[in-house]
Structure 1
Amino acid sequence: MILTLTLNPSLDRTIEVGALTRGAVIRAGAAHLDPGGKGVNVSRALLANGVRSCAVIPYGGSEGRRLVELLSVEGIDMIPVPVAGPTRSNVALAEPDGTVTKVNEPGTALTAAELDTLAAAVLDAARSADWVVASGSLPPGVPVDVYAGLCRRFGAAGIHLAVDTSGPALVSAVCAGPALVKPNRDELAEATGADIAHLGDVIDAVGKLRAMGARSVLTSLGADGALLVEDGGAWFGDCPVAEPRSSVGAGDAMLAGFLAAGARGEEALAEGLAWASAAVGLPGSRMPGPADIDRTAVRITTPDPALPLTPGG
């Protein structure tokens, strides 16, 4: 079983538009409302593919109740923890070429007592988990070392922890020695101070994270693919998408597929890439199921340091 913790979940509304013009009145082609938050998306992707998962989430206000309702409709096994503040709402504007413009609310602060309740729920449920995924941004006021603290506690109990976050929270977590971290290109650059233009820059930056304490690093590189580096070796892979619709949640789908396939080696990387590319081809933050996933398009190769990456990708 894979347990996920999302400290800053959301309601995600994705609106499809023909083109995004600043200051104009834009007619929406379609709109989708989905439960959101990185850990929530991981649990949704796992459930869609028959992998047992449980999501621990704080929720508050009418938005929080709607979030729990949507997750219940999807059949997500969850541990909802009531908190005083309202759950945030995010908006994404998706253009036909796959470009997505997101507006994310910061979320609501969690009190020390609410954090303790969430941590206790995670630690209790983690006794039957193979992996715990701690992911997403931190709500205002939450200490940046919250994931690092969980990492140390889980490590002492022999539980594997995967961390997918950004900024100081990522750096703090890496120093606590997680089994896996999954930064994207921008998060990797921010955490290491690297200027990333080629795959070799990614390899060097990943080496810094591993020297700091991360055991395995799965780096998502958008349309360029993904790089996995672990004690057993390094692999690069990509999976082209013919008709991209929304990149929202693609990294979460990648992490879910990677964990579902054993979280090690090129086969797990290939599965993660297949799930991620399927998510990009779906509207909103829909997570792919078996009928959406095409593994034949995945290509895994030995990393070429000279390979240029898409500028700004």
Structure 2
Amino acid sequence: MILTVTPNPSLDRTYEVPSLDRGAVLRATGDRVDPGGKGVNVSRAVAAAGVFTTAVLPLGGASGTLIAELLGAQGVDVTAVTVAGQTRSNISLVEPDGTLTKINAPGPELTAEESGLLLETVRTAAGDPVWIAACGSLPLGLAPEWYADLVARAREAGAKVALDTSGPALTAALQARPDLIKPNAAELAQAVGRPLATLGEVARAAQELRSRGAGAVLASLGADGQLLVSAEGTFHGTAPVAAVRSDVGAGDASLAGFLIAGGTGPGALASALAHGAAAVQLPGSAMPVPADLRPEAVRVTENPPPDLRLSTPATP
């Protein structure tokens, strides 16, 4: 079982538009509403693969109620912490070439009591799952050290923790020694405070974060694939994509694929790549089902050429 924690979930409304013209009336060619938030998306992808998952998340208001209903319909078990504020709604505008414009609302401010209850709810459930995936930005009211507290409590309960966040929340959580972190190239560059232009530089940055507490680093590199740096070695993989329809939630689908496949080694990396590639070819934040995957097209190599340059260098 995979448990996810999403401190700042959302209701995601996605509109497909012919073009994005500022000041014009845009007529959508397609639209959808999905439960959103990085951990929520991980649970959706896990459930789509037929694996049991529980999503722990604070919910409030009509949008929170709708999120719980939508997740239940997708086979996700929901453990909700009721909060006074209204759960946020986000809007995504997707153009035909895959260009995404996203408007993320800040979300409600959690009280100290709500924050503590959320942590206690995770701690109570932490003894059962194989993995806990703690994902996304922190809402107002939660200090950057909140994730570090969560990781420490989960590890004390014997659970393995995958963390997907960025900025001060990521750096603060390293001291609690999460088993896995999943930054993208820009987040990794920010964490080490220097630009990253080659696979070798990405690998060294990942090793630096491992020395600061991370057990393994799964770095998303966009069109350049993904790099896994762990005690088992350094592995790089790519997966072909015919056409990008929407990259909303693709990284979350990738993390789900990694955890479903055991959360370690090149086999899990291959699963992550297959899930991520499938997700970007689906509308909105739709999560792939097994029929969408093309594992035979994934390529994974050990110790990739360190001088291989990234298509888009990452800056702090």
Q: How does 1:190-229 map to 2 (within 5 A)?
A: 190-229=190-229
Which stretch shows the higher mean deviation, 169-178 or 150-159? Answer: 150-159
Determine the structure 1 residue equivalent to 2:309: 308
Whole-angstrom CA distance in 2 between matches of 1:247 and 1:142: 28
Match of 2:7 in 1: 7
Q: Secondary structure at the match of 1:311?
A: strand
1:30 has 2:30 as partner: yes
Q: Residue 99 of structure 1 corresponds to which residue in structure 2?
A: 99
1:234 aligns with 2:225: no
Residue number in structure 1 paired with 2:160: 160
Is the contact between residue 223 and residue 240 of structure 1 (CA under 8 Å) also seen in structure 2? no
- Quote the offset at 1:121 in angstroms: 1.2
- Counterpart residue type for residue 275 of structure 1: H
Quote the RMSD (CA, aligned, Å): 1.2
| C-alpha displacement of 1:56 | 0.4
CA distance in 2, matches of 1:304, 1:25: 49
Range with greater deviation from structure 2 (136-145 or 199-208): 199-208
Look up the SS of the partner of 1:197 in the other structure. Answer: strand
Name the CA distance, whole Å, in 1 between partners of 2:141 and 2:2.
27
Following TM superposition, by how much is the alpha carbon of 1:312 offset from its aligned partner in structure 2, in angstroms? Answer: 5.9
Q: Give the equivalent residue in structure 2 for 1:128.
A: 128
Report deviation, 1:175: 2.1
Runs of 4+ more than 4 Å apart:
none
What is the CA distance between 1:80 and its match in structure 2? 1.1
CA contact (8 A) 1:194 1:201 kept: no
Task: Structure 2 unaligned segments of length 5 or more: list them.
Answer: none
Post-superposition Cα deviations, 1:48-84, rounded to whole Å, max 9, x if no partner, equal 0011110001111111111112112222111011100
Separation of aligned partners in 2, 1:305 and 1:98: 30
Match of 2:289 in 1: 289
Contact 2:52 2:76 in 1 (8 A): no
Match of 1:186 in 2: 186
- The answer to whether structure 1 residue 245 and structure 2 residue 245 are counterparts is yes
Deviation at residue 26 of structure 1 after TM alignment:
2.2
TM-score under structure 1 length normalisation: 0.97
Any gaps of 5 or more consecutive residues in structure 1? Answer: none
Q: Are the aligned partners of 2:6 and 2:136 in contact in 1 as well (CA < 8 Å)?
A: yes
Query: What SS does the aligned partner of 1:127 have?
Result: coil
Aligned residue for 2:311, secondary structure, equals coil
* Letter aligned with residue 306 of structure 2: P
Contact 2:126 2:157 in 1 (8 A): no
Q: String of CA shifts for 1:10-44, please: whole Å, max 9, x gaps.
A: 00111111222333332211011100001110110
User: Contact 2:12 / 2:36 at 8 angstroms: preserved in 1?
Assistant: yes
**Residue pairs, 1:69-148, within 5 angstroms:** 69-148=69-148
Instruction: Please show how residues 266-277 of structure 1 align to structure 2 within 5 Å.
Output: 266-277=266-277
Amino acid across the alignment from 2:295: R
Shift in Å, 1:89: 0.7
Q: Secondary structure at the match of 1:67?
A: helix
Determine if contact 2:236/2:301 at 8 Å carries over to the other structure.
yes
Q: How does 1:49-68 map to 2 (within 5 A)?
A: 49-68=49-68
> Whole-Å Cα distance in 2 between the matches of residues 201 and 163 of structure 1?
22
Aligned length: 313
Between the aligned partners of 2:94 and 2:138, the Cα distance in structure 1 is 25
**Please, what TM-score do these two structures have when normalized by structure 2?**
0.96
- Shifted more, 192-201 versus 133-142: the winner is 192-201
Identity of aligned residues (%): 55
Q: Is the 8 A contact 1:39 1:136 kept in 2?
A: yes
